[in-house]
Amino acid sequence: MQLLFPTREGQRDVFNRIIRVKKEEFRKPWPKSPLTEIVKAAKGGCIVEKKVFFFCLTLVLFFLTCFSFAPPSRSAEPASKPQYVIKWGTLAPENTVWGANALAISKEITEKSGGRIKNIWYFGGVMGDEPDMVRKARINQIQGFSLLTIGISKVTPELTAFSLPFLFRNYDDIDCVFDRIWPLVEKTAEQKGYVVLGRADVGFSIFFSKKNLADIAEIKKAKVWKWSGIDLPLEELSSFMFGMDNFVTLALPDVLTALQTGMVDTVYGTYYTALALQWQTQFKYMTDVDVTGGAYAPSLMFIKKDVFESLPPDLQKIVRETCDKHFAIMRRDLRQDEANAKASLSKRGIKFMELNPVLYNLGRKCMETSIYEYYRLPEANLDLLRKNVDQCLNNLYAAAGKELNLPQPSPERTEKLVRTFLDMEGKLFSRNFVGQILQARDQCVKGKDASPKSK
């Protein structure tokens, strides 16, 4: 249009001339010469031949029609360019319950915000292992993530207390405890520079192995994977609880290859994790969580505090409400997927390990009467902790020491275990933090609060 009408004055003049043209003038024959019978525009000029004339008239009518009947813009429609772009990382593949819900959250936030917020997800470890994602968040390559225990230990170490062995019996206990202390979880995350937007369940971590691991001799020979970067004293805990002492440190993406090459033969995780990461093709045995119990594995979704607080209050409300809605759905679906995964693995011929019940029953009792009892005390009492640990080790040896080939109790072994928990307390969480979890759990178990809603 600008080639035909270089100036606004020329455009208006030509349009006015078009409207004033008489019908009989259209019937007159137009000369063949392209330089005759022209319509001269005003200042800036525009020269139009007959063919161009009708072309211009068509364009004028077209644009008048479009702009006259165009519907008014609506604020609910997505903006052409978002004001806030938030990038997220997760190990979860896109074609999982976690991935589907993350995309649903993103879509709903975009719609409710009128396009002011755009979320971009990097699934399946594209941003690296969880410690890598935490590092990238610090330099603002991503602004949020969903994390498992190892990532949580890098962001809010205190929250790894929820993954202590035999702390929870079932999901009802977990939901009840989180209902009670969710404000403490939020406060803890904010003190570390993050806002926690929701909690999902990965399940209860159990062991998978190429071997049956029915006795201590087999357990001691197992080549067990340890997640690189994890701060939990896995070796000491597993040695105390199960007699394991041969660990191979690897990043999560390297585990499948290590299983295939024989670098490791025993790993830990949830039933669904084993299927999602395709580990199930490499092991023959697994523990039964309903029999042995396990360590609760949460997944928490974090956003950097400064990024969240940069959002206007109305957008913060949209983000929180949308996450609350979808995380409740996600927990329900993930728990069902975990149950389905267990059944699927069993149907594929994966057998349950024939573990001696004395081992895990006394192990659970030891954690409860020695370690957790210590955390319940209003003040630290190391003498009582040592006494309880020593008693626990003696009871375990008396019940099945020779049968399981357990090492004999000794003051050195007791002190090593005590120091393990003291170091864990100093690096990860406070005794008071674990004490609050235990207090909430004890009240829930007693039935004083069995609220089904959970963050």
Structural domain spans, the chain: 8-69, 357-445
pLDDT of residue 9: 53
Query: Is the distance from CB of 197 to CB of 330 less than 8 angstroms?
Result: no
Residue type for position 366 = C
Tokens linked to 38: 């022209």
φ and ψ at 51, to 5 degrees? -65, -40
pLDDT of residue 336: 94
Residues in a beta bridge with 299: 200
The number of helices, as runs of H, and strands, as runs of E, in the chain is 19, 12
Record the pTM: 0.74
- Cα–Cα distance measured from residue 401 to residue 81, given in angstroms and rounded to the nearest whole number: 68
Encoded tokens for 8? 């606004």
Q: Answer whether 110's CB lies under 8 Å from 118's CB.
A: yes
Burial category of 100 from C-beta neighbours within 10 Å (exposed 0-12, middle 13-18, buried 19 and up): middle
Q: What is the pLDDT along the chain (455 residues), one digit of tens a residue?
A: 443 444 445 445 544 544 444 444 444 443 443 333 333 433 344 444 444 444 444 444 444 344 333 333 333 344 468 999 999 999 988 988 899 999 999 999 999 999 999 999 999 999 998 999 999 999 999 999 999 988 998 999 999 889 888 889 889 999 999 999 999 999 999 999 999 999 998 899 889 999 988 776 777 788 989 888 766 655 556 655 556 778 888 988 899 999 999 999 999 899 998 988 889 999 999 989 888 888 898 999 999 999 999 999 999 999 999 999 999 999 999 999 999 999 999 999 999 988 777 777 777 888 888 888 888 888 888 898 889 888 887 887 777 666 666 667 788 878 877 887 787 777 788 888 999 999 999 999 887 544 444 55
Percentages (nearest 5) of helix, strand, coil residues in the chain:
55, 15, 30
Q: With contact defined as beta carbons under 8 Å apart, do 87 and 142 qualify?
A: yes
CB atoms within 10 A of CB 138: 11
- Residue 295 pLDDT: 86
What is the full DSSP assignment across 243-306? Answer: ----EEEE-GGGHHHHHHHTS-SEEEE-HHHHHHTTGGGS-SEE--HHHH--EEEEEEEEEEHH
Q: Is 263 within 8 Å of 248 (Cβ atoms)?
A: yes
User: What are the tokens at 39?
Assistant: 């319509």
Cα–Cα distance for residue pair 191/193, rounded to 1 Å: 6
The two three-digit tokens of residue 139, written as one number: 């330099």
Residue 380: its pLDDT value, please?
84
Name the nearest CA neighbour of 141 among 222, 69, 86, 196.
86
In the chain, the N- to C-terminal Cα span, in Å, equals 59
